[in-house]
Amino acid sequence: MNPNDQYFQQQQQQQPGYGAPQLGQNYGGMMPPPPRTPVMVNQPQQFPPANGPQNMNPYGQPSPRPPMTQYGHSPLPPQAANPNQLAQQMGGMNLGDNSLKSPVPSMYPPMNGNVSPAPGTFPSRPPMASNLQSSPMPPQSLAPGIAPPRPGLMPPMQQQQQMRHVSPQQYPNGPGMDNMGHPVNGQQFNSPRPPMGGGYLPTQTAGFPGHPPMPFQQAPLQQQQQPHLPPTHQQQGGYDSMGSRYPSSPSYPPGMSGPMPGPPSQPMPPQQQARRLDPDQMPSAIQVMEDDKRTRSGPFATNQKGLVPPLVTTPFLTQDQGNCGPRFVRSSMYSVPALPDMMKQTAVPFGLVICPFAQLEEGEQAPPVVDMGELGPVRCGRCKAYMCPFMQFIDGGRRFQCPFCKATTEVPAEYFQHLDHTGMRMDKYQRPELCLGSYEFVGTKDYCRNNVFPKPPAYIFVLDVSYNNVKSGLVHLLCQNIKSILQHLPRESVGGQNGTARVGFITYSKEVHFYNIKASLAQPQMMVVGDVEDMFMPLLDGFLCDPVESEHIIDQLMVQIPTMFADSRETETILGPAIKAGLEALKAADCVGKLLVFHSSLPIAEAPGRLKSRDERKLLGTDKEKTVLSPQTTFYNQIGQECAGFGCRVDLFVANNAFVDLATIGQVARLTGGQVYKYTYFQADLDGERLVEDVRRNVEQTVAFDSIMRVRTSTGVRPVDFYGHFFMSNTTDVETAGIDSDQAMTIEIKHDDKLTDEDGVYIQVALLFTSPGGQRRLRIHNLALSVCTQMADLYRSCDLDTVMNLLMKQSVTKLTESTPKQIRDALINRSAQILACYRKNCASPSSPGQLILPECMKLLPLYINCLLNCDALSGGSDMSIDDRTFNMFAVQTMHVGASLAYLYPRLVPLLDASAPASPSDQDDVVLPSPVRCTVDKLRDDGVYVLDNGIHMFLWIGLSVSPEWIHGVFGTNSAAQIDIDRTKLIELDNPRSQQVRSVLAQLRSTRQRHMRLTLVRPRDKLEFVFKKFLVEDKHSDASSSYVDFLCHLHKEIRNLLN
C-alpha cells in the first residue's frame, strides 16, 4: 500500500445503519422458555432500533424494551427452571421422542449485559454417561495459574438465592437430552447474586467427522453437589455436539471461592462498561482454525456423499474417490434440506464456489485426460450430462440411468462392458470417468468452433507509452524484464507437437503501433495506425511469433521501445482502440489468446472509448455511490462482450496517478474473465518488484481459453445466480475468454422441490476449453450431497467459509443497484434469522439473555462484521473511487481461501518463527500460529506480519531488541528504520534470512504479490494498519467484534419475541 495513496486519508464519521426489517415468519418448533422477570441490562454499545422508534416483533407488533439494571452490577445466573412448569408448557409432547434431540449449541455471555469477566482459564469436565446429570459445582478455589480478576470488576456480595437441583428425567426434552436451560455464569439476570466458586464450566464435546472439536478442553475439576447452586451443563457422553459454551464468569484468586464483599458499586461511564465484556471469551477464528488443523490435517478421501471437507486453512491432501476435491468445488452445505420450506426458514444460503483449475498441493493427483477417440464423451441422451461415477448401469450394462434427470440411455457398443455381481462395471477402476470425481475428456471436432481444431493461444502485450508511464519507469522496467517473463509462458505438447504460445507487442498513446518481430528480420519493424476511429490490423505476417525463434528480435525491440518514447510528452491517451487492435490481431491470426494491457491515465483523447472525469469521492458511502461505481458508458461493456465472444481475455495493469475510472474501463476485464491489477502512484524503485511478479504469475498460470461452463444439478435444485468475471449470453452457459487457477465463480442454488435421501443431490460442473497447447478439452467435476430432514443436520453440515464467499459476492454485486444501508441491513437481518432459527428449532429452551450459536457457524457474527467493514463494501470518502472499485473487482474472482483471508487477515508474530537451515530453504521455515486480529495482541517488544491477500504490513514494536533490528534492517533502533522501504535489504545473517524467508513463504500462499509496508507505533500509516485489525473498532462508522455481537444478539431476541 503506497503511503502517498489517497486511500490513506483520514477516515470520516459514518453511521453503520444497523437494523433489520420486520420479519413475519413464525419459526415454529420448540416452545419458548418459561417467562422470567424482565431485567434491563447495559449494552456495550447502543445501536439504532431495527424498526423505527420501537422494536417490533416478528408479527409487526411493538415489543417492550427490557428494563435496565443498576449501573455497576454484574449479570447473574438464573434460578433453575422448574421442570414441572416446563412439562406443562411443552404440552403433550412425547418426552422420549429422539427426534427432539438437538446438538449442543454454543452458549456465550449475554450480549446485552454488563458482564465483567476476568482473565482466566476455565477447565472442562469429563463426559458423563447419557443417563446421568451433572451435579452443581461446590465453591472452591481455581487452579494455580488462573489470573486474578481485574481491579474494579468485582460484583458486590448480595443475599444468597436457593436453587433446586433437577434431574435429567424431569426435563421435557426426554432422557439423554442435554439440559440447555442452565446458562454459563452471567448469562441470565434474574438471580440477585453470582454463584460461588467462579461460575459454570464449559462443555467438553467430541467433534464429529468434518468439524473441529470445541476449544477450551482442559483438565477437569472435581466437584460435589451443593443444594444452593444451580446444576451445571455437561456434555452427554458419546453425543456429537454442534456447539460449545464459553464461560463469562469472574475468576477469583487462589484461595477465594467467590466474590469479595465491598461497598456498593457506583455507576460507570458507558465506555468503561463496554470494555467489561472480555473479547477473549468470544468465539475465536484462530482457535477454530487451529482445532481443525489438529484434527483434520492429512489425507481427505472423497468416498462419502455429503462429507464436510476440512477448512481451507487446514493443510490436507485430497484423495479422489468419486467426488471432486474441495479445492475444485465447495458447497455452502453438504446436507441439503428435503423440503424447500426448511431452507427458507433457516435462511442459510445454498451455493457453490467453483474453482475449476485450482492449484493442487504436492502429492495430489491432477485430473487425468481421457481420450475417447472419434466416439467422444459418453453423455445422457436427455440432459446431456457427461459420464460420471453416479451413473447407474442396468440391463446387464446395456443401458445407464442418469442421476440428474433419471432418464435411461443406451450404452454405445464401443463403450459396453459387463457388470459384476454387485452391478458395477468390470472396468470401473480402469476408467477415470467411472471412479473419479474430476477428470478431462478430449473434445472432438463437434466441440470446436466451426468444427475446426483450434490453434495454440497467443499472448499480446499492449503497453501505454505516454508521458506518465515513461516518467514513472514502468516502460523501462517492463522492457527490461520481458525476456525473463516470457520464459514462464505455459508449454504443452499435443500430439508430439510443441504447443508453445506465440507473443506479440503493441504500444499506444494517441495512436497505435504494431511491431513485426519475425525471426528472419535483421531488426524489428514498427507500423503505425493513426486512424483510431476505424482500427484494423496492418500486419498479417510477423506480428505473432514464437518467443524462442524470435528471441534476438524481441531483445532488440525491448531495447528500442524505451529509447523511442523517452522524450514523450503525450498526456492524453486512448484505450479502447488499443484493446480493439489486440482483438483484431487475434482475429487475423484465427486464434484465441490474452491481452496484457498496461495503462496509466483516464482515456480523454478524442477516440472511441473517451471518458469524462467524475472523481466525486464524496458520494462514496452515501445512497448515491452507485452512480460512480457503475460504468459511465457502455462502450467498454460492448468491446468486452466482443472479446469474450472470440476468446480474447483482457488483463488490466493500471499504474495511475489520478482518477482513471476503473469502474468503466474494468468492464473489459470483468466480461472476458480477466483480472485487474492496480498500482497507485507507481514508482519503479518501490513498486517494480510487485509489478514484475504479478505479470510473471499471470503469464505462467495455466489458463483455459475460450471456455464455456455449465452446471447441471439433479431434480429439485437448480443454479439461479452467478457471480464472478464472465459473460452470459443465456441463463445457463457461463462464458469466459480465459480462466486461470486463481479465479473462482460462485453460484447460488435454488431449492425448488422435495428431495429424498435415497436420491440425494448431484452436481456436475462441465467446462469446455482450449488448453495452452491448442487442444479442445472438457474438464468435469462431480459432487454428491446428502439430504436431511432435521434442521440440526443442516447446521452441522454448513461450510461457513463458503457461505461468506457467497454473501460477500452477492453484497458487492448489489452495490450498483442498492444503497449501502440496504445491503448492510440485509446482511444483519439474514444473519439474525439464521441464528434465531437455530435457537428456535435446534437448541433447548434457555434464557433470552443467552447467546446460542451453532458450532459450525459460531464465527458468523465475526465474519459478518468483517464483511460490513471491508473496503469492497463499506469504503467511504476516505478512499478513492478507483480503490473502491479495485476491491470490488478483486472480490468477485476470489476463491474461498482468498475471501477468508480478505475478511479476516492473517496476523503472524514474526519473532516466534524458526529459522531455515539455509537461505534457499524457504519451505523449512516453521511459521508460528497466527494471533487474533486485535490491537490487544500486539506487544511492544514484538514484530508482526499482517496480510489479507492484497496488502502486507510489517509492524515493528518500539521495544524490539536492538540486536534483532540491526540484524534485519542494519540500524541500531526501530526509530532509525526507513519506513518508506518496500523491500528488506539482504544481509548475510540468520535473522535477515529468516525474516525474508517468512515473507516469501507468506507471499507464496496468495494470488498477488503483496507490497510490503513498514509500520511503527504512532507512525502516519499506523491507523491504516490498524484498520485491518478487524476485531477492533476504528471509527463511528464501524463496530468492534464485541459490539456487533451485542447488536446481533439484540436482533435475534427481537425475532424470537
Q: Give the residue from 351, 349, 348, 353 showing the smallest Cα distance to 325.
A: 353
Please give the full DSSP string across 859-905, using - where no structure is assigned. Answer: THHHHHHHHHHSHHHH--TTS-HHHHHHHHHHHHT--HHHHHHHHS-
**374 assigned to some structural domain:** yes
DSSP state letters, 69-122: PPTTPPP-PPPPPPHHHHHHHTTT--TT-GGG--PPPEEE--TTS-----S---
Please give the biggest Cα pair distance in the chain.
Answer: 100
Contacting residues for 333 by C-beta, under 8 A, at least 6 apart = 348, 350, 785, 794, 797, 798, 799
Type of residue numbered 835: L
798: in domain: no
Output the CA–CA distances (angstroms, integers) from residue 761 to 505, 714, 719, 755, 758, in the order listed.
49, 6, 13, 8, 10
Last residue of a domain, one of 281, 307, 333: 281
Domain count, the chain: 4
| 398 and 464 co-located in one domain | no
Q: In this structure, are 464 and 417 located in the same domain?
A: no
Residues 430-442 have pLDDT tens digits of 999 999 999 999 9
Looking up residue 909, the CATH number of its domain turns out to be: 3.40.20.10
898 domain-assigned: no
Q: Cα–Cα distance between 30 and 26 in angstroms, integer? A: 12
- In terms of domains, do 473 and 573 share one? yes
How many C-beta atoms surround the C-beta of residue 893 within 10 A?
Answer: 28
427 with 554, same domain: the answer is no
In this prediction, residue 586 carries a pLDDT of: 97
Cα separation of 616 and 599, whole Å? Answer: 22
pLDDT at residue 57, as a whole number: 41
Q: Which helix (H) or strand (E) holds 400?
A: strand 399-401
Q: Which residues of the chain are under the pLDDT cut of 70?
A: 1-276, 495-499, 914-924, 1036
Residue 696 · residue 488 · CB < 8 Å: yes
587 & 640 share domain = yes
Same domain, 912 and 1008: yes
Q: How far apart are CA 804 and CA 812, in angstroms?
A: 12
The length of the chain, given as a count of residues = 1057
- 218: helix, coil or strand? coil
Domain co-membership, 599 together with 678: yes
User: Which residues form the domain of 123?
Assistant: 69-281
Domain boundary among 677, 702, 727: 702
Q: Calculate the alpha carbon distances from 508 to 60, 662, 668 in Å.
A: 62, 19, 18
Same domain, 208 and 273: yes
Name the pTM for this structure: 0.77
Q: What is the pLDDT of residue 914?
A: 61
Could you tell me if 412 and 535 lie in one domain?
A: no
CATH number at residue 512: 3.40.50.410
**Does a structural domain hold residue 944?**
yes
| Residue ending a domain, choose from 645, 678, 702 | 702
Residues 428 and 465 in one domain: no
Q: Is there a domain that residue 471 lies in?
A: yes
**CATH number for the domain harbouring residue 412:** 2.30.30.380
| Structural domain contains residue 243 | yes
- Note whether residue 1038 is domain-resident: no
Q: Which helix (H) or strand (E) holds 285?
A: helix 285-296
Residue 257 lies in a domain: yes
**946 in helix, strand or coil?**
strand
Contact 738, 777 (CB under 8 A): no
Does residue 151 sit in the same domain as residue 261?
Answer: yes
pLDDT at 492 (0 to 100): 81
Give the Cα separation of 43 and 1048 in Å (integer): 12
Q: What is the per-residue pLDDT for 844?
A: 82
Same domain, 405 and 463: no
The DSSP secondary-structure symbol of 353 reads E
Contact 578, 508 (CB under 8 A): yes
Burial status of residue 917 (CB atoms within 10 A of its CB: 0-12, 13-18, 19 or more): exposed
Residues whose CB falls within 8 Å of the CB of residue 450, separated by 6 or more in sequence, listed in order: none
